[in-house]
Structure 1
Amino acid sequence: MTKHYLGADLGATKTHVLIADENGKVEGFAEGGPGNHEVVGYDGFQANLQSTFTEAIKIAGLTADDLSGSGFGVAGYDWPAEREPIMAVINTLKLSGAVELVNDTQLGLLVGSPRGWGVTVVSGTGCNCHGWDASRTRFGKVTGGGISCGEFAGASELVFMTVRMLSYAWTGRGPATALADVFMEKYGGPNLDELMQNILTGKIGLNPADARLVFQVAAQGDRVALDLIRWAGHELGELANTVIKQLHFENEDFDLVLIGSMFDGSPLLTEEMQNTVYPFAPKAQFIRADEPPVVGGLLLGMDAAGCKLEGSARLEMIKKLGSGIRSKGKA
């Protein structure tokens, strides 16, 4: 009898659910709203997971009882105390097979590393960094606390710093920047005075999607925007170095997997990250994950059910699943 597996990637802006059989045939895929309880609360997390799961399982023509294993990568799962309430939400799906839960950052390493171990850095709406060694007995991570813990930089943190540079341009503490023009154009302010007033009085609220404006202005050569991208790359490199140090990888040959939409913004982000990492860990192998993280969730589900793929079989499965998702015009 053919076995079926589920993978789920739940982030700050979307939920992906993938269902495939043991041969890598994609049977169902669906996308829904945010799955991070820190963004939408546990009720929103449950509602978005339930609706996305229901759509995917319907497309697959299966039921929850048909799934042998399910893997969930959930943004906002950073501490042991969060496992119980997150699992309580997952358990509402009434899955009969084995279930595994990890932070969504770890999906990057599962899908992006040919060896299945190393360090992974995510830079999407937020940022995070996790890793483990070849035996998967030593683990490393940062707090996942973002700005409050001095961890940068996803799109949220980049926009946060952009507001700072706009304020410096307004006060004269820093140079003028074309960032002011593009943000005034988007939000309708006739001048920087009014833009800053509207931001600081809460009349308008910048959001992580505005990070693309920073990349656009940087591509035009604006010094402030370029420095912001370099800053973000350096900070992401520092996150990686932190976990590299925890795992004692400084002199090791290991995979360093990058996932998240920020890495699509400009090659300068990765270049600056490399400038920060290579002096500390010169054998790091930078890899931009080719397939969506939800594929890593499905591999996690297979692992949980005792169907662990290694070597070429694992790589072939990753490619088949990614191709299957793309053939459906998804992810």
Structure 2
Amino acid sequence: MNDLFLGVDAGNTKTIAAVADRHGNIRGWARGGLGDIYGVDDPGEAVAAVLRLVDEALTSARNVVPNGRLVSAAFRLAGVDWPEDTALWTEALGGHLGPDVRFSVKNDGFALLRCGDPDGVGVAVSLGTGAAIAGRGRDGAEFAFSFWLQHPLGAAGLVDDALHAIFRAHTGLAPSTSLSQAIPQFYEAASVEDLLHRFTRRDNTEGTHLNKSKAARVVLREAEQGDLVALSIVDQHAQLVTAYVEACVNQVGLDEPFTLTLGGSVAADDTLRKAILRELGRQLPHVDVASQDTAPILGTVLDAIADGGIPLTPVLHAAVLSQAGSMT
């Protein structure tokens, strides 16, 4: 059969659309930029960007699977935070895909869930440029933190905290730290003062969420090398992630044991991942953590296959997760 299943993972920095067959083989994919309706002046820009990638991925897949029929699609999108956001996307996607394609629209926090538990039950934490945290209970209850997330996490959050630390250290309000040399050097700033000026002056373009996120590896490297301030930032983020996981568990009524799926480019770093695992071990000792082959786009493809009525057997689940390298 030529059945195809589409997954779309859209964020603030990149969007990926991938098409799989009923055996879990990725047959086509496309990558683009921002797909968040909150990240553009006109939501139509983000919608157009996502629909363009949908068409590109489907065209690519049908070059491999002639006459491929799209059965179902799963859209896990940053910026699906309120009912009106879901309604906007549902109208746009329904008109684009047509009446014969089953599709679902959810916040991007849900993208990782099936990478851990094929039934999509548990909590997912994705730490990339920002953070997305969501959960689903065994009775189907769902909760995504989205705007309820009150602490900047992910790459931009790490760097935000590092900047606060070095600016306070510069004025004698906080301990000295190797970050005071490493962060300005990364941004090619002459000094801490020069960096502060560049990030806060009128008409600056450097103090953005995205630009800050670029230095996350510097913070993690300094922590790995033993800087106490950088280590404290990493530990604080691990504690916050764990606290949000506990809150999500309470929102959806989960009892231990359950699966926590941890993914995203920042969570892939050993320093932060190990800190999170230590904190989880202290606070939620019976949680099963899945952190290998946990790419949000693969979880979204698994959602599309499940939404299409295909049972996610262990073989099929493993087949999808084995293909992260096919989309590079």
- 1:123 positional shift: 1.2
Match of 1:51 in 2: 52
| CA distance 1:56–1:325, shift in 2 (3 Å) | farther
2:109–2:144 contact (8 Å) kept in structure 1: no
Aligned-partner SS, 2:13: coil
1:32–1:48 contact (8 Å) kept in structure 2: yes
Between the aligned partners of 2:260 and 2:288, the Cα distance in structure 1 is: 6
| Count of aligned pairs between the two proteins | 319
Match of 2:302 among 284, 291, 299: 299
Aligned-partner SS, 1:131: strand
- 1:325 positional shift: 4.9
Moved more, 216-225 or 232-241: 216-225
- 1:102 positional shift: 1.4
Aligned-partner SS, 1:264: coil
CA shift digits 1:104-160 (9 cap, x unpaired): 111211122255311111211111321122232x23332x127xx523411122222
Report matched runs for 1:242-321 at 5 Å: 242-250=247-255, 252-267=256-271, 269-307=272-310, 309-310=311-312, 313=313, 315-321=314-320
Aligned-partner SS, 2:6: strand
Aligned-partner SS, 1:39: coil
The one-letter amino acid paired with 2:38 is: E
Aligned-partner SS, 1:101: strand
The one-letter amino acid paired with 1:36 is: D
Between the aligned partners of 2:24 and 2:187, the Cα distance in structure 1 is: 46
Moved more, 205-214 or 101-110: 205-214
CA shift digits 1:199-218 (9 cap, x unpaired): 22254324212212111222
The one-letter amino acid paired with 1:66 is: R
Match of 1:82 in 2: 85
Structure 1 residue 109 corresponds to structure 2 residue 113: yes
Report matched runs for 1:64-143 at 5 Å: 66-95=69-98, 96-114=100-118, 116-136=120-140, 138-142=141-145
Match of 2:242 in 1: 237
Between the aligned partners of 2:294 and 2:262, the Cα distance in structure 1 is: 11
Between the aligned partners of 2:94 and 2:193, the Cα distance in structure 1 is: 51
Identity of aligned residues (%): 25
Structure 1 residue 193 corresponds to structure 2 residue 164: no
Aligned-partner SS, 2:38: helix
- 1:324 positional shift: 4.1
Between the aligned partners of 1:51 and 1:228, the Cα distance in structure 2 is: 39
The one-letter amino acid paired with 1:218 is: A
Between the aligned partners of 1:53 and 1:304, the Cα distance in structure 2 is: 17
Aligned-partner SS, 1:159: helix
The gaps in structure 1 that reach 5 residues or longer are none
1:168–1:174 contact (8 Å) kept in structure 2: yes
The one-letter amino acid paired with 2:21 is: D
Between the aligned partners of 2:268 and 2:194, the Cα distance in structure 1 is: 32
Match of 2:61 in 1: 60
Aligned-partner SS, 2:215: helix
| CA distance 1:325–1:229, shift in 2 (3 Å) | closer
Report matched runs for 1:135-214 at 5 Å: 135-136=139-140, 138-142=141-145, 144-145=146-147, 149-201=149-201, 203=204, 204-205=206-207, 206-214=211-219
2:77–2:105 contact (8 Å) kept in structure 1: yes
Between the aligned partners of 2:182 and 2:96, the Cα distance in structure 1 is: 44
- 1:86 positional shift: 2.0
2:127–2:267 contact (8 Å) kept in structure 1: yes
2:15–2:35 contact (8 Å) kept in structure 1: yes
- 1:170 positional shift: 1.3
**What TM-score does the superposition give when structure 1 sets the normalisation length?**
0.87
| CA distance 1:324–1:286, shift in 2 (3 Å) | closer
CA shift digits 1:209-256 (9 cap, x unpaired): 221211122222211111111111111111101012223435x21111
1:7–1:18 contact (8 Å) kept in structure 2: yes
The gaps in structure 2 that reach 5 residues or longer are none
Between the aligned partners of 1:159 and 1:88, the Cα distance in structure 2 is: 38
